[in-house]
Amino acid sequence: MLLLIEATPTALRDQKVVAQALESLARALQVRGGRLVEAQVATDRSRLFLIVETPEGELVEPVVRGVGLEVRMSKPVRLIGQEIDEISRSRSDVDFIVEWNFPPGLTMEAYLERKRANSPRYALVPEVRFLRTYVCEDMSKCLCFYEAEREEDVRRAREVVEAPVDAIIRVDRGFPDLGRTE
């Protein structure tokens, strides 16, 4: 099972403190048979987006809280655009996360069909590279990960593929790839 955990630091938002919390989280999950696939942190460190692979989802929140992070949301997600092993083997190139809260009534099938139809248009915005999307299984929201230098380019890419934006979060690339495997 893949979980998206949105969290915030309960103490300082210092980069070193957050990095230590993420390293502790990765170790604690591993002991319990899970793994931290990736951790993306907003530049102001106010929001952390954690992707956890785990056999037992209900055990993850206490572990996250135990390393000094407050859980704002925890939901099962589906990965679209890459395979989990691709993410684990490669360095994180995420610069921006686009958050979109789905409208009521949107089904997974309708979303996936729309994505298949519109995704080829990303080629019209070569400054942006779409990496992957995590879609909450309850169809409440999705997070799309991009590599790009400028927020304006990401916004333009979203317009080209006719995909709404509720928020764009710049990612701090100064954190280690804790989910990386060789």
Domains of the chain: 2-170 (3.30.70.3090)
Report whether pLDDT(92) > 70: no
The model's pLDDT over 120-170, given as tens digits with 9 standing for 90+, comes to 999 999 999 999 999 999 999 999 999 999 999 999 999 999 999 999 999
Q: Looking at the DSSP assignment, which residues form a beta bridge with residue 129?
A: 147
Helix (H) or strand (E) holding 149: none
Residue type, 48: L
Q: Would you say 146 and 98 are in contact if contact means Cβ atoms under 8 Å apart? A: yes
The model's pLDDT over 37-88, given as tens digits with 9 standing for 90+, comes to 999 999 999 999 999 999 987 889 999 999 999 999 999 999 998 888 888 7
Q: Residue 144 has which token pair?
A: 């799309």
pLDDT value at residue 10: 80
Strand order of the β-sheet with 69-80 is 35-41, 48-53, 2-9, 69-80, 129-136, 141-147, 96-101, 167-170
Output the pTM of the full model.
Answer: 0.92
